[in-house]
Structure 1
Amino acid sequence: MQLLDGKAISSQIKSEIKIEVENWIAAGGKKPHLAAILVGQDGASETYVASKIRSCEEIGFTSTLVKFEADITEEKLLEAVASLNNDADVDGFIVQLPLPKHISENTVMEAVDPKKDVDGFHPINVGRMCKGLPAYISATPFGILEMLIRAGIETSGKHCVVIGRSQIVGLPMSILMQRNEYPGNCTVTITHSKTKNLKEVCQTADILIVALGRPEFVTADYIKEGAVVIDVGISRVADATKKSGFAIKGDVNFADVAPKSSFITPVPGGVGLMTICGLLTNTLKAARKEIYK
């Protein structure tokens, strides 16, 4: 079993981006600027956005955080999105999800200028990805692809099973893993809550990508010997032995599954750190106008 160490890989990627930023600025380019809109006081979202801001500082980006109370109206939030769309200094921005229930996430995502949609959620970027055109690939799938590349994991002709069909991870991951390039050329099965015989389907996977949000759901009897296991899940589980009162768990029971896998991601320290690298990479592309000339 080999560990797909998100901490080590993300540190390497951020060092590479920092050098690229320095060279870009030295050649007369503008300092990349990433902004984030945060609504409410969701603990996980606040932690994640804070990590993004720290990463921006590490690699030489400008970062801006725009915060609103949870009771903001959809109209006011859309005004904030329009303001960032029209701010020439902002290269890319994100609206941190989830949003309060009274706000339509789809409406807000569609209001983001596709040229600044560094989360890769806008229908235009999703459509371009599906067509194989240059696009901002959503950050978590981007991070998973980078893990596969840097570990040299063969994907061509393999059976990839994805658990979860979210528009953020499961759906784009299934499309990316079957495209005619590396990583890709897999035969892909996408599974979800209505899938029958889920365990038996997972047992046929050479590469299993788990993104369903149920802590330690996948156990060793879901895995065939030598499978590559990518755990996207991250949940807080009550744990009285921890000072914080909770433990961070993935969707995979790591201790149970690891001995049976060829490669596996830990939680924490796996895909989550890679997600931020995807966002930073997209922002640099936005600053250079690589996707939209």
Structure 2
Amino acid sequence: MASVIDGKVVAADVVAKVKAEADKLIAETGVVPGIAVVIVGHDPASQVYVASKGKKAKECGFNSIEHALPAETSEEELVAVVEKLNADPAIHGILVQLPLPGHIDSGRIIQTIAPEKDVDGFHFINVGKLGTGELDTAFVPCTPAGSMLLIERALGRDLSGLSAVVVGRSNIVGKPMANLLLNANATVTIAHSRTKDLPGLCRSADILVAAVGRPEMIKGDWVKPGATVIDVGINRLPADANGKARLVGDVAYDEAATNAGSITPVPGGVGPMTIALLMANTVISASRAAGRALSLGDS
């Protein structure tokens, strides 16, 4: 039976380091890490995410600001809000909560964020740095960055000689995940809906990352014995006969756990890491703004 990679424990380690670095930064320079979250409209899931980010930021000792804008906010008005935050020296991280209303071009808004304040890691400058291995100065998207820390916890930092398969090719998870694995010397394949013999390809993987958004798509017999399985998916299944909804990942956990060497659960695996890495990126940004080099890479 696989050992469980507990994201809550690793995330708590990251947050503890973030708090310590924030305290040191404030004491030595007077700079308080500042994060601004911009939300447009009233999407219920977005409201929950924004609240959890604000709560964690305050726990870390940050100055946390929320800009809640009405759904009818124009694209130009949103650009103006972002540009004002870009110019505010007290703000080190800017998050625009997605999805945005349909009349707003999300891509334009993301590219308006100053790259040095883009703690989500979505700006083309940060994407390009990650793609070319400039990890010391890039902001890496938080979900793949957190997933990578879980892989390092299970296997160490040098993945030379290991085969990795990433199922999913999104710009937010799949592609940056593949770049991180390449940087750690793994041999990487990105798979997707048009991949031929996907089960067979998955069975070749020493490291299998599932990020497709399809409930329990990866079956137990797709997993190579002893493989490390990182399940990025979080899917809410309809209520059962008792009226209870259930959260599951993209991996059929019970089946996969009989083959895997180690595996992340859902919930409690990758999820807690995403917000922890967002906090880490913000304190790194604040440190850079204060003229101090900081890396939390040993978290």
- TM-score, with structure 2 as normaliser: 0.91
Cα deviations by residue, 1:246-269 (Å, 9 ceiling, x for unpaired): 221111111111111111111111
Cα deviations by residue, 1:141-192 (Å, 9 ceiling, x for unpaired): 110111122334462211100011110000011111112xxxx111100011
Report the residue type matching 2:6 in the other structure. Answer: D
1:169 corresponds to which of 167, 170, 173? 173
Partner of 2:148: 145
Partner of 2:296: none
Aligned length: 288
Per the alignment, do residues 132 and 290 of structure 1 end up closer, same or farther by CA in structure 2, a change over 3 Å counting? farther
Helix, strand or coil for the counterpart of 1:150? helix
Is the Cα–Cα contact under 8 Å of residues 40 and 69 in structure 1 kept in the other structure? yes
- Give, in whole Å, the separation in 2 of the partners of 1:112 and 1:248: 33
Partner of 1:271: 270
Partner of 1:26: 27
Structure 1 residue 88, shift from structure 2 partner: 1.6
Aligned-residue identity in percent: 43
Partner of 2:65: 64
Report the residue type matching 1:150 in the other structure. Answer: R
Alignment of 1:1-293 (within 5 A): 1-133=2-134, 134-153=137-156, 155-179=159-183, 184-240=184-240, 245-289=244-288
Is the Cα–Cα contact under 8 Å of residues 164 and 208 in structure 2 kept in the other structure? yes
Report the residue type matching 2:67 in the other structure. Answer: V
Helix, strand or coil for the counterpart of 1:282? helix
Helix, strand or coil for the counterpart of 2:119? coil
Is the Cα–Cα contact under 8 Å of residues 174 and 189 in structure 1 kept in the other structure? yes
- Give, in whole Å, the separation in 1 of the partners of 2:257 and 2:101: 37
Unaligned runs of 5+ in 1: none
Is the Cα–Cα contact under 8 Å of residues 32 and 90 in structure 2 kept in the other structure? no
Q: CA RMSD in A?
A: 1.8
Per the alignment, do residues 78 and 242 of structure 1 end up closer, same or farther by CA in structure 2, a change over 3 Å counting? farther
Is the Cα–Cα contact under 8 Å of residues 217 and 251 in structure 1 kept in the other structure? yes
Is the Cα–Cα contact under 8 Å of residues 210 and 231 in structure 1 kept in the other structure? yes
- Give, in whole Å, the separation in 1 of the partners of 2:46 and 2:6: 23
Cα deviations by residue, 1:74-107 (Å, 9 ceiling, x for unpaired): 1221111112111121111111112222222211
Unaligned runs of 5+ in 2: 293-299
Report the residue type matching 1:201 in the other structure. Answer: L
Is the Cα–Cα contact under 8 Å of residues 119 and 138 in structure 1 kept in the other structure? yes
- Give, in whole Å, the separation in 2 of the partners of 1:26 and 1:151: 35
Cα deviations by residue, 1:97-152 (Å, 9 ceiling, x for unpaired): 12222222211111111111010100001111122222111111110111122334
Report the residue type matching 1:141 in the other structure. Answer: P
- Give, in whole Å, the separation in 2 of the partners of 1:242 and 1:74: 44
- Give, in whole Å, the separation in 1 of the partners of 2:187 and 2:288: 33
Helix, strand or coil for the counterpart of 1:140? helix
Is the Cα–Cα contact under 8 Å of residues 31 and 61 in structure 1 kept in the other structure? yes
Structure 1 residue 242, shift from structure 2 partner: 6.4
